[in-house]
C-alpha cells in the first residue's frame, strides 16, 4: 500500500477522509440493522396475512446480507487505507482490535 501511495502521490489526509466516510457508513449500516430487526419483531407480532410476512422476512434477510457485505467492504477498506501508528485512526484501531 505504501508503494501505491508513493506511486500515485496521494496525501494521507485523503485516506483519512476516506476512512472517516467509511466509519460513518459503518455506523449507519449498524443503525439500519438495529432498526430493521426492531421493525421485523414488530411486524411479526401484528395480525397480517402470511404472504406479507414472508415478503417482509425476505426483505429483512436481504438487508442483513447487504449489511454483511458492506461491513466486509468496510473492513477491507480499513485494512487497505489505515496506516499503522497514525493517531487519527485510534478509534478504528480500538474498534477492530488492531
In the numeric block, which cell numbers belong to residue 7? 506511486
What pLDDT is recorded for position 87?
Answer: 47
Torsion angle in degrees (nearest 10) through CA of 33, 39, 41, 42: 170
Which DSSP letter does residue 52 get? Answer: H
Q: Is residue 66's pLDDT more than 50? A: yes
Question: Do residues 93 and 82 make contact, with C-beta atoms less than 8 angstroms apart?
Answer: yes
Q: For the whole model, what pTM was predicted?
A: 0.44
| pLDDT tens column, 35-46 | 877 777 777 677
Confidence of residue 88 (pLDDT cuts 50, 70, 90): very low
Amino acid at each position: 500500500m505504501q508503494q501505491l501511495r508513493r506511486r500515485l502521490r496521494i496525501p494521507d489526509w485523503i485516506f483519512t477522509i476516506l476512512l472517516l466516510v467509511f466509519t460513518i457508513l459503518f455506523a449507519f449500516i449498524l443503525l439500519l440493522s438495529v432498526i430493521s430487526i426492531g421493525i421485523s419483531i414488530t411486524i411479526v407480532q401484528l395480525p397480517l396475512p402470511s404472504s406479507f410476512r414472508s415478503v417482509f422476512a425476505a426483505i429483512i434477510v436481504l438487508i442483513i446480507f447487504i449489511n454483511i457485505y458492506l461491513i466486509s467492504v468496510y473492513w477491507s477498506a480499513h485494512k487497505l487505507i489505515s496506516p499503522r501508528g497514525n493517531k487519527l485512526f485510534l478509534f478504528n484501531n480500538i474498534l477492530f482490535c488492531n
